[in-house]
Copies of this chain bind each other. A is one copy, B any other.
């Protein structure tokens, strides 16, 4: 955990998406946006995302870069029963720990699906790096795991979401980032200069400007973000006042 200049506790995270299918475009990722929104809501700042292929060197390098820099790393994908599921082994390699079939994971399989044969493929899903805690979930018998500050989760969205629900209560969180969205009813280029002045005068608050097309043409959402509710409200009011002035001058 780190702290802002005013002492506000800040917890940071990164997401590492593992999967050839995302990079080929065959599968459209639905996990990044879900995790981003989830972490923001519980008071963890997502600072970086990387998507890497199903290649051990790439997974190890990406994971080691991210886990040293951020409080938490969440990985998605590559923990199934097939030959291309190499995440657990790659995580063990990144941490320099051994990996083997974990009796706790085997016990979950036996309890949850006693009719299914524990064949070689299913036992592959019970391979857990030494020292990891399991992340059980309600959707699948195959667990994710937490090793150090790294949460290893499934790629299938429904399973990933269940794992996130399971692990979230164990995480430290910081002061939540609050946000307000103001629909400008103006083009970005019309408000860019006065908005920039407000941003420079309030560097403790994050001001974002997001253009989009609505039914009438170009419009803009202005997003004000701050951890302090009073500062958020003050800057929101400054933006609203600015918009009144801009529109009056049309």
Contacts and interface: CB of A to CB of B under 8 A. Distances in A.
A179 B38 CA distance: 34
Interface string A7-41: 00000000001001111111111001111111110
Given A119-B193, A189-B119, A195-B82, A23 B50 contact: no
B22 A36 contact: yes
A175 interface: no
Contact of A83 (B200, B210, B212): B200
Interface in A64-85: 80-85
B33 A191 contact: no
Contacts of A85: 209
Judged by DSSP, the binding face of A is mixed
B25 A188 contact: no
Contact of A209 (B35, B84, B209): B84
Given A50-B48, A50-B50, A192-B81, A29 B32 contact: yes
Given A49-B49, A51-B48, A124-B192, A156 B25 contact: no
Given A37-B25, A40-B25, A119-B193, A208 B20 contact: yes
A89 interface: no
Interface in A113-128: 116, 119-122, 124-125
Contacts of A152: none
Nearest to A210: B21
Interface residues of A, number: 69
A25 B74 CA distance: 15
Nearest to A28: B33
A47 interface: yes
A51 B24 contact: no
Contacts of A51: 32, 48-50
Interface string A139-169: 0000000000000000010100000000000
B189 A225 contact: no
A223 B121 contact: no
27 contacts: A20-B208, A21-B208, A21-B210, A22-B49, A23-B46, A24-B179, A24-B225, A25-B34, A25-B39, A48-B51, A48-B53, A48-B58, A49-B49, A80-B192, A80-B211, A81-B188, A81-B189, A82-B195, A83-B195, A83-B207, A84-B209, A85-B209, A116-B189, A119-B193, A121-B189, A121-B193, A156-B213
